[in-house]
Structure 1
């Protein structure tokens, strides 16, 4: 290849030597095949001198790399000697124990001890296998052998050649080695059967390549590594390797940098470990760069890696490049799968499913599944529960680079717009399942046929549809943005403490303002007031939004939004202790909604009035208010929608329980609160459930039921933690710890 490119450039060996700085003797050895694995810097210098770019340059560099690998591992004697292990090997304690247990558990004659270690590029599969093999060497007097199968090469090692190399290592002469595959495999198995031998088969390409190389039972053992899952391989135990935990990743970096003294701060090393995503290859490259550049420190390199646009370029040291490792897997893919892999980098969030992949690739969901399975098989994607997939951060950056390199800017923009429009439409249709006025929404393109399916889709895809909503807002697609924000009105009640609602309704308010619609803008400000009342607990800011909503609603002449503003203002005023004003505002709102026939919101106002009375210390009146609300909920002729009834009933029951407790009727309070908590659990209402559990725990404690009280506080702590309220969770855990068991002696109580 070098000779062909030189002649195409019309250069003599001497002229190319002068242009590249590489000696003509070296160039001659390369052209004649005497030097099959020249150094990376040599090949790059020659490629620069020849002006090679694109595929020609990559092919020349890759051929040299393959030659270096073959030179490194080959042994003229055919002994398949185990490579050295690295001194700074860190972590993987559980994985090493797994390998040790695997080979020792197979000590019985006839047991097949074959372990398969799989994982994506850069995870250190080979390093782990070599480390384990060195540790196990004393237990294998027949020998420990290593063979690179070149699974990521365009030309993996043929099985016949692999068997010949292993047979020579086991002592067979060339004359004793059969000429056919079946004969070689049979001789190989017979030699392994009675010998305590460990064979490390590194970088396997396929099941077909590996099967003839495995022992057929007996004393011989094998350890196989592969980027592919090799799902068709039978009779093996599997170990899926993942990234190093952050602590072990930072320990590996520290070990690599140990000879640099104390010039690297621990926080900078920790940040580097995070940016490398726990990939041992990336950590090795980062460490080597620092070791080879004494003038740098970890903070300098961390600052460079912080720029996502440059991170992959910075993760290179000599002929070690993280992008090259990913590229070997990428080149194994079929062209359609490469296209999908690139385009998945456009997904705004961290996870996605086959339906979204199909939209990006313009194919069917079934076709997307096949491509996603291929990506998982090669370790370029990680599959999670419920049919969802995700990138490792560095692989996502590699996919993004491939997208920029291989698809036009106009093409990328068109694909992005298609994806964002689909995501926002999906979110809008899913949100409308919870709007009582709309009834059953239009059919969803991804088949969301029930409210539960719609809620699940909105929750697991929130980063994706919110990112898409953001993008459409930037593009000025105001109608779609506002439609989506409005569709979240009722669903937000069912996911109260999600951190996303402020941005959703802020985008909605901006879209309404751009469209010049004061009534719809007022509705979004009312939703922002709700955000500051419930998830954010900021009544002062909530009042500012109700002021804006009132001005807009009055300007638009919309009595519904005026009443809703009064309802939200009543909640904020109650939180601020301005109870008379709150009662007046809630009363006006309730009257308006009742007159309009909006019984759902009227009932919400009745509940809010009860809460005002409770906070005012008027517990008996509050109880009557809540009991009246429950009667209305039970009235089949009231006009309440089933969804609103299901939402309001458990909250009203919990309030009844609170009032009963405040009135000293603790047994009734405990029964009512328990019923409310059960309904909240089934309706997936974690925020009010946590508060009700806390109230129940206090009532149980007052009744001397310490064990049950402790359990209720502990459960409340779990629910608070799940919704992200760490302070409330800590408080409940402390109360659980401080609550004595009724069976404990009196002096054991704190």
Structure 2
């Protein structure tokens, strides 16, 4: 029988590969780009776990095959983990609590309620504190245990379960340590786990003991360590959610609010806070994302280097490419904390995690995660669940996920380290293409030129209704806009133009979204680069519209409309000529040049009617009515609004259904306003109430809805219905505030509280 030998370590394996390649240390150093000294440290075992990048460079220099390369990489990884974990031989006493502990008042109150609560069926008096790396779970649990100590005269014990270690503390070892701490002699400790667990529970039943079980790995590890009622209590911390653990009260730690984060950083830096100044410390706290570990690192760096400038450190942290490197002080490294969680992941989940760093927006769903990760949606769900369980992702409402800012930077760092440049470029292009194709398809749901769009590619998000299309565009705005920017920077002009063009009618439904100016500017630049005069005119017309959305900039809108008219005339784009007249008229109206406005809008209306473009013609009728109303010609204005309402309400008029559904409440608002101005207040109230109700399903929390509410409040006040008027003013103030119109919001809020005789709305 062959003798049993220990497996090779990293140092010996590296030495053998070098000898097999017939290379000296100097030759390998030159081929790999790693210093001779570093190589010598590796081969002598002084550096047991070199960085992944160094190991892959060595594997390339040694021309290792796939199996040998993987073996060398895994041994280095194991070495890094062994270097990180050093396990004590016995049960530790409760660690000291830091003097500058800050905040967490509500959470500390929760622990107090936990230990003083009456026993409940099942496992009683057990609290589970969960949260991602860096949130200070251990520090919090230690602080709570010190505060609760007087309530536990029989002892407060602390046991590190090494849940993030490659080899968590075994259940039998943990029970043995706990039993010794409770005074059981070694010879009296049962040899089997059930016997140890039974003895442990019986001792806790009659003793007022608090056990802090730190860094739990799994439900299986924890269950035998819990008290089963009686006087004993347990407080558990874990990065994992331990969703299968029954009969426990749960507390999920969150990042510190900015005020508390600044207070913690101020406490850490102590006396120098006066010279650093609160604004700089607040900025540093903000860049740390509310993570206590990051704040501790930054505070320690400042304290240990009195000559350093806090403002200069803040400037370094502001650079995302360097932020993780800056969050390091001695043996404290924020990246190491994240890496422990990362190392727990399956290989496929690591790949999804890294590649999610390329998603351009702040959040994403499983469909987009599947595209980025190159996997199925079902497998993406599994990966996302694993990432949430370990605190590497935060899950929100409606199946959306997001990174903490620092975790995103860590994912980006892993991507740079573990994926090639070609792989990163491929993923970026895949994500960009998918987002823009889906956005364009969604936008076309609202465009009369397309009607109900087909789903061109099986891999796109399945948008089977106009409501689903609108929801996708809204929640993914940061993602598809980021993809649009990337495509523009890559000179993919046709793709950019196609996406921007598809947003025309949808932008009316979400007119106060902040990104339309950028979308249509990118569209105009793409059309110009392609030399497409007609589409360039269209994009300039959209920009004219953007500058007419309150708070409007009518002179800029007029300039864009004039440029669009010139290009549309050169190219013979009749529809865009009509829109140029329409937007010029709207801008002239805003500038008070009503006669010119009426003439321009009328020319546009004639062009649209002749071209049988009923959607555009209806919009012209509404704008023409606005001009007449501004001129005090209320009856004539009412005629135009009624025409628009009738077209929108007639299924046989030729209007696109989605555009008609949007146009109808707008027309009703103007009709109601005119009725009020003509003294027909009862009809006005009925019409305005109908308009506001029609706006609700379309998520039209924007300027038209706010104006409708304000006009309704005016008319109600004139009718003496003061209570209803105040409520309408209050709601109008809320919607105005959501659009960013602070002046209008303040005006309506004052009217809601003071209820004076209201002024006439414009």
The answer, yes or no, to whether TM exceeds 0.5 is: yes
Q: How does 1:516-531 map to 2 (within 5 A)?
A: 516-531=531-546
SS of residue paired to 1:686: coil
* Offset from partner CA, 1:344-376 (integer Å, 9 cap, x none): 000101000100111112211111000000000
1:686 Cα deviation after fit:
2.3
Moved >4 Å (runs of 4+): 1-11, 43-48, 51-61, 107-111
Which of 699, 715, 723 is matched with 2:731 structurally? 715
CA distance in 2, matches of 1:741, 1:600: 39
Quickly say closer, same or farther: Cα 1:681–1:66, change in 2 above 3 A: same
| Residue correspondence of structure 1 range 338-737 to structure 2 within 5 A | 338-443=350-455, 445-687=460-702, 688-737=704-753
Aligned residues of 2:209 and 2:233 also touching (Cα < 8 A): yes
Distance in 1 between residues matched to 2:149 and 2:351, nearest whole Å: 45
Aligned to 1:36: none
Q: Report the secondary structure of 2:274's partner residue.
A: coil
Q: 2:104 aligned with 1:92, yes or no?
A: yes
Aligned match for 1:65, one of 72, 84, 87: 84
Residue 592 of structure 1 deviates from its aligned partner by: 1.3
Partner-residue secondary structure (3-state), 2:133 = coil
| Residue equivalent to 1:164 | 176
What displacement does 1:701 show?
Answer: 1.9
Give CA deviations for 1:276-314 in whole Å, capped at 9, x if unaligned: 000000000000000100001321211111111110011
Structure 2: distance between partners of 1:541 and 1:436:
28
Secondary structure of 1:309's counterpart equals helix
SS in 1 for 2:159: strand
Residue 559 of structure 1 and its aligned partner are, at CA, apart by: 1.5
CA distance in structure 2 between the aligned counterparts of 1:429 and 1:367, rounded to whole angstroms: 25
State the partner residue of 1:307. 319
Partner secondary structure for residue 345 of structure 2: coil
Q: 1:156 aligns to what SS in structure 2? A: coil
CA distance in 1, matches of 2:553, 2:666: 21
Q: Which shows bigger deviation, 411-420 or 668-677?
A: 668-677
C-alpha displacement of 1:45: 12
SS at match of 2:744: helix
Aligned to 1:14: none
**Alpha-carbon deviation of 1:451?**
0.5
> Conserved in 2, the CA contact under 8 Å of 1:705 and 1:741?
no
The secondary structure found in structure 1 opposite 2:673 is helix
Q: CA RMSD in A?
A: 2.5
CA-CA distance at 1:465 after TM superposition:
0.4
Unaligned runs of 5+ in 2: 1-8, 25-35, 59-72
Cα distance in structure 1, aligned partners of 2:123 and 2:392: 34
In the TM superposition, what is the alpha-carbon distance from 1:7 to its structure 2 partner? 8.1
CA distance in 2, matches of 1:738, 1:306: 46
Cα distance, 1:663–1:150 mapped onto 2, change above 3 Å: same
Change in 2 beyond 3 A, CA 1:579/1:2: closer
Question: How many residues get paired?
Answer: 709
Query: Structure 1: how far apart are the matches of 2:639 and 2:678?
Result: 12
- Matches of 1:393 and 1:229, distance apart in 2: 21
CA distance in structure 1 between the partners assigned to 2:414 and 2:544 by the alignment: 44
Q: Distance in 1 between matches of 2:439 and 2:235?
A: 48
Structure 1 gap segments, 5+ residues each: 12-18, 32-42, 743-750
TM-score, normalised to structure 2, is 0.89
After TM superposition, give the deviation of residue 535 of structure 1 in Å: 5.0
SS in 2 for 1:147: strand
Task: Check whether the contact 2:524–2:540 (CA below 8 A) recurs between aligned residues.
Answer: yes
CA distance change for structure 1 residues 546 and 167 in 2, over 3 Å: closer, same or farther?
Answer: same
Question: Residues 304 and 279 (structure 1 numbering): CA distance in 2 closer, same or farther, change over 3 Å?
Answer: same
1:2 & 1:645 partners in 2: Cα distance? 71
Q: 1:640 to 1:356 in 2, by over 3 A?
A: same
Aligned equivalent of 1:15: none
Deviates more, 1:623-632 or 1:669-678: 623-632
How far apart are 1:634 and its partner, in Å? 4.0
Q: Is the 8 A contact 1:20 1:46 kept in 2?
A: no
Deviation at 1:94, TM superposition (A): 0.7
Matched, 1:739 2:727: no
TM-score (norm 1): 0.90
CA contact (8 A) 2:213 2:234 kept: yes
Contact 1:706 1:740 in 2 (8 A): no
CA distance in 2, matches of 1:121, 1:631: 60
